[in-house]
Structure 1
Amino acid sequence: MSNSLSLVICLITIINLLSNATRMVGCDLAVNWRKIGEDLSEYRLMKQAAEIGHLAQCLLSADNTSEAVWYSSHNRTCHEFVCNRGPNGCRKCRNAIRADATVTQVWIRAQPSGQFNCWKTFQHRVSSNLSFDKNWTDYSTGFGLEEADNFWLGLEQIHQLTKHRGRRVRWELSDWDKKWYWTENFNFTVSGPEDKYRAVIGEFDSAASSIGQAMTTSDVGIQGNQFSTPDSDNDLSPDDCALERRGGWWFGYCTYFNPNGIYFDYPTALSVHYTQMPMMYHCDGCPSPLGQSYSLRTVECMIEHWMP
């Protein structure tokens, strides 16, 4: 069969099946494409091509490194995007299932089954509108409105998501200059309530980190620690870290990562001292301002999840 005929067959197949996950049968690049919602503000435009006659042609010509593809039928242009926060760092599960004006419908590469991976948020801080100074019951069951806002998924749900196998976990921070920092670890698990939801994290992924192995160092804690809340002290310190730090976490010795501490708004956050128990991060050797007990603008913690 000639190359031109193979291409025609491939194009016809795609056009007939584009409403679902589409398998490019007979193409040089056998790819399963899936249409999902995405927040393109987290991406940057890698390539744009004009005079592209149809979506199938746009997908066929997509670069292997592109993470999201958007086709404008009105302008007949093909747009390819990559994540601004490291490879595969942008795809949030909460955006994928939306179909409203807050997201853009884009095409991504999926598994042969149509499944695709995304980030399931279990902790998110974006403003001072919700205090995270909560008790054990609240942290066990979860609180907050939705993942895009101030949110805690709940320890029991985190346990259920990780009890059968370790998941990749992503820690994402931003400062008041709106600069982003991130790091990822393999094999994150959280045990059940009988073990106070103890957290274990594996090695960090150097290819998916802008701040090194920040979450596995002793000054950050987490590794192997039980969860503590102001009314349930399970840390390793003679002090009650959660009570002192004004929020629950996997504390060891009242460490320098306090993502559920007090949220200070701008510009107050720039002059807050660590003794005021802010939502802070301190990491020796990390880029400024993270090396100085910095009161953060946002924190988001996520688990890799597979969507059907």
Structure 2
Amino acid sequence: NDNLHNILSARDYKLRIDLEDWNGKTRYVEYDTFFVGNEATNYVLTIGNYSGNVEDSIVFSGKENCDINGMAFSTWDVDNDVDDVDNCAKDKKHAGWWYNACTRANLNGIYYNGGVEENDGIYWKNWYSSDYSLKTVTMKIKLHFRRCS
């Protein structure tokens, strides 16, 4: 995460996430801002405005406990989520991610062949349920050039 923070600190970036199911259908989302804080912030995630052809599962308006914008990164041994009972990273089989009271998108979950129905796989809940493990997910960053007004 330090390397990612160092890259993102140098310039403005946006994030694109490409999703593919086991039938070859694809979807994408883009966020016009993507930044990860440093170790002192526990690698807090900052995500900007959404666009795409699938409903947003990261900055999920209407469900505050699912929105991961502003959340610190959690791992199985460092619980930074806001769930008072569970450690979401541990529950998702050691998947490090930015969890709130868990998440509607788990892109670091276990890779299951054939869309296996397990809730610890790789999922985008607003496309399929959290029990459907996607075939591929790619996260890409790109320089974001802002226009002068």
TM bin, normalised by shorter chain, reads: 0.7 to 0.9
CA distance in 1, matches of 2:66, 2:16: 15
The one-letter amino acid of 1:244's match is D
Which segments of structure 1 move beyond 4 Å, counting only runs of 4 or more? Answer: none
Kept in 2, the 8 Å contact 1:235–1:251? The answer is: yes
Kept in 1, the 8 Å contact 2:123–2:129? The answer is: no
Given candidates 91, 106, 122, the residue that maps to 1:258 is: 106
Aligned to 2:147: none
Given candidates 110, 125, 132, the residue that maps to 1:282 is: 125
Looking at secondary structure, tell me which structure has more helix per residue.
1
Deviation at 1:220, TM superposition (A): 4.9
Deviation at 1:305, TM superposition (A): 4.1
2:67 matches 1:224 = no
Aligned to 2:89: 242
Kept in 1, the 8 Å contact 2:89–2:99? The answer is: yes
CA distance in 2, matches of 1:256, 1:215: 7
Given candidates 42, 46, 55, the residue that maps to 1:196 is: 42
TM-score, normalization by structure 2:
0.83
Kept in 2, the 8 Å contact 1:221–1:257? The answer is: no
Deviation at 1:265, TM superposition (A): 0.9
Which 5+ residue runs of structure 1 have no aligned equivalent? 1-154, 284-289
CA distance in 2, matches of 1:231, 1:250: 14
Aligned alpha-carbon RMSD (Å): 1.8
Deviation at 1:227, TM superposition (A): 0.2
Deviation at 1:222, TM superposition (A): 2.5
TM-score, normalization by structure 1:
0.42
Which 5+ residue runs of structure 2 have no aligned equivalent? 145-149
Structure 1 residues 281, 212: CA separation in 2 closer, same or farther (over 3 Å shift)? closer
The one-letter amino acid of 2:33's match is N
Kept in 2, the 8 Å contact 1:261–1:278? The answer is: yes
